[in-house]
Amino acid sequence: MFFSLHLPTLSLVLFLAYLSNWIFSLLLFLGKQTFRGSLLWVSGQGIFCLALLGLGLRELLPPFYNVVVNNSLYMVSLLVIIQSIWIFRFTRPFPRSVYFAVPLIFFSFWIIQQQSMAFRSAVFSLEMFLFTGAIAMILLWRLRTPFIFSNILIAVPFFLTGIFSLVRFFLNIFTLTPDDATVFTEMNLVFVLLGVIAAPLMLFGYLMMHHQRTARDLKKKDEQIEARNQELLAVNHSKDLFFSIIAHDLRGPIGGAARYVRKNLLDKRDIIPEKRSEIEILAGTLDRTHEFLEKLLWWARSYQEAWKPNKVELNLGEVVLEALKMVEPEVEAKDLKIILDSQLPVSLIWFDRECLRMILQNLLSNAIKFSDLGAEILIDWKIDGNEMIIRITDFGVGLSREQINRLFRMEDKITSRGTRGESGSGMGLILSQNLTSRNGGKLILESPGPGEGTTAILSLPMHGSRLD
């Protein structure tokens, strides 16, 4: 049936097929397309190719090499592949004591070299069955869902080789006689043909194991990213809670203390001048602390994803008056003049009232902080399409282009002292821009340059231009 095929020629074809596999796997390995145990896999393939070369050249080689050395190379190559698959599949260390089997393998073929062909074939087939069966078993042990199909495909050539080797073993033991050369030749041809068919699957095995490694790495990274995200969410939640607790628990008492000092101490006429100065410092400190806690509360609130501004129809003029009332002590302290370019607007805008009051208060405080004693601050407004534009202009220290670009970046938060040494947290403008953006508005700064004043331009959506 198979005599039309020449065994040595077919053996060389088998060698070339596996040599191509080995070269391709080696190139993948050198190109960093690896997996756990890939070096051993490539090494095992190389040893297997060497054994196949001996099979193709068996007529030119001495009997000792064919029976002892070449058969031992087959088994050693499979043993190396077993370790490769073990490392690929399991995390526990490979039992290196298994390599004590190498001298036993060599010895087993050495002592049978003078035995009959049937006996030598039976020993070879039994060892081949044990090693290929071990590889298939390791590949199929406790498979998990993403890789069941690929592991089965990788195990197919080893499984088929193991089954054929077992059949060959029993045929050698129970049916063949030492001089059944014809049957031996046919069985060898079947074995070689099976190897040729399995060659593409061996290459497929390397690619699939690399794919599994990539999939596992991606899954691990996804899990790490998810765990990190959960940690960041927890930290962010703790931060928001911390800010809110501090702001709520401290803002009220300090605000009350500031009002009490101004109403019940500073208003008394019989205070000694030295004490009045100290009380003014105390009141100013309490006011600044209260302002900072107010900003802190809004900061925590504005950076919470769940928080949404309570947008309502607002009379812009009313909110402007509220903001001016809040900064009145600062205006009086520097003897400033607030100039309204025209009558307060009565236009309705669509905005969160508390947000707008905080934004205007921050912008006015900045203008006051960087204005000289007795200077003017100009407030004007106009309607531009569906927006109300408010401009707050001071004629103080001004800003460079670089400073303007950095003012709204948290990582470049700038803190500068005012014209009378007023300190600040540096968070007012960033908070104002965030609150403006959350309400659908825009905030920008303009300045001709240092020493020439600054204009804050606030664009607010008018009622009827809702983008909810």
Q: For residue 344, give the CATH number of its domain.
A: 3.30.565.10
Q: Does 276 fall in a domain?
A: no
How many domains does the chain fold into?
2
Structure tokens that stand for 436 in this block: 């403006």
Domain boundary among 196, 227, 258: 227
What Å distances lie between residue 84 and 34, 305, 331, 345, CA to CA?
12, 49, 79, 80
Q: Does 240 fall in a domain?
A: no
**Which range, 160-169, 291-300, 443-452, has the best average confidence (pLDDT)?**
443-452
Nearest to 442 by CA among 397, 394, 391, 399: 391
Q: Beta 311-315 vs 442-446: how paired, if at all?
A: unpaired
Q: What is the pLDDT of residue 3?
A: 44
Domain boundary among 210, 227, 244: 227
Has residue 18 got a pLDDT over 80?
Answer: yes
The per-residue pLDDT of the chain, averaged, comes to 81
Contacts of 112 (CB under 8 A, 6+ apart): 67, 119, 120, 123
Contacts of 196 (CB under 8 A, 6+ apart): 10, 13, 14, 17
Domain boundary among 192, 227, 262: 227
Has residue 105 got a pLDDT over 90?
Answer: yes
Q: What is the pLDDT of residue 1?
A: 44
For residue range 312-336, what is the model confidence (pLDDT) as tens digits?
888 888 899 888 988 888 888 889 9
Structure tokens that stand for 27 in this block: 């190139």
Question: 312 and 192 in one domain?
Answer: no
Contacts of 274 (CB under 8 A, 6+ apart): none
Dihedral, CA of residue 217, residue 223, residue 228 and residue 230, to nearest 10: 170
Q: Tell me, what DSSP letter sits at residue 99?
A: G
Q: Does 303 fall in a domain?
A: no
Q: Is 326 exposed, middle or buried (0-12, 13-18, 19+ CB in 10 A)?
A: middle
Q: What is the pLDDT of residue 329?
A: 81
Residue with more model confidence, 214 or 467: 214
Q: What is the pLDDT of residue 363?
A: 92
Q: Edge to edge, what strands does the sheet with 454-461 contain?
A: 337-340, 376-384, 387-394, 454-461, 442-446
Question: 440 and 312 in one domain?
Answer: yes
Q: Is 276 exposed, middle or buried (0-12, 13-18, 19+ CB in 10 A)?
A: middle
Has residue 19 got a pLDDT over 70?
Answer: yes
Has residue 459 got a pLDDT over 50?
Answer: yes
Question: 127 and 13 in one domain?
Answer: yes
Question: 349 and 209 in one domain?
Answer: no
First and final C-alpha spacing in the chain? 82
* Per-residue pLDDT band at 84 (split at 50, 70, 90): very high
Q: What is the pLDDT of residue 467?
A: 44
Question: 82 and 190 in one domain?
Answer: yes
* Per-residue pLDDT band at 2 (split at 50, 70, 90): very low
Q: Does 263 fall in a domain?
A: no
Give the Cα separation of 48 and 15 in Å (integer): 9
Q: Does 346 fall in a domain?
A: yes
Give the Cα separation of 203 and 154 in Å (integer): 9
Question: 222 and 127 in one domain?
Answer: yes
Question: 30 and 168 in one domain?
Answer: yes
Has residue 266 got a pLDDT over 70?
Answer: no
Has residue 89 got a pLDDT over 80?
Answer: yes
Give the Cα separation of 343 and 349 in Å (integer): 17
Give the Cα separation of 77 and 9 in Å (integer): 23
Nearest to 353 by CA among 429, 298, 299: 298
Structure tokens that stand for 227 in this block: 């765990």
Residue with more model confidence, 231 or 193: 231
* Per-residue pLDDT band at 139 (split at 50, 70, 90): confident
Other beta carbons within 10 Å of 451? 11
Q: What is the pLDDT of residue 145?
A: 66
Q: Does 334 fall in a domain?
A: yes
Give the Cα separation of 74 and 131 in Å (integer): 10
Question: 159 and 55 in one domain?
Answer: yes
Sequence-separated contacts (24+) of 298-306 with Cβ below 8 Å: 298/355, 298/358, 298/431, 298/435, 299/243, 299/427, 299/431, 300/239, 300/240, 300/243, 300/244, 300/247, 301/244, 302/431, 302/434, 302/435, 302/438, 303/240, 303/434, 304/240
The pTM assigned to this predicted structure is: 0.54
Mean pLDDT of 422-450: 84
Question: 195 and 316 in one domain?
Answer: no
Q: What is the pLDDT of residue 190?
A: 66
Mean pLDDT of 96-121: 89
Give the Cα separation of 391 and 456 in Å (integer): 6
Mean pLDDT of 106-122: 88
Structure tokens that stand for 248 in this block: 């709520």
Q: Tell me, what DSSP letter sits at residue 390?
A: E
Has residue 306 got a pLDDT over 70?
Answer: no
Has residue 149 got a pLDDT over 50?
Answer: yes
Note down the domain range covering 418: 308-468
Sequence-separated contacts (24+) of 419-424 with Cβ below 8 Å: 419/334, 419/369, 419/370, 419/371, 419/372, 419/373, 420/334, 420/373, 422/369, 423/288, 424/369
Mean pLDDT of 61-66: 89
Has residue 180 got a pLDDT over 60?
Answer: no
Q: Does 249 fall in a domain?
A: no
Residue with more model confidence, 264 or 28: 28
Q: Does 297 fall in a domain?
A: no
Has residue 464 got a pLDDT over 80?
Answer: no
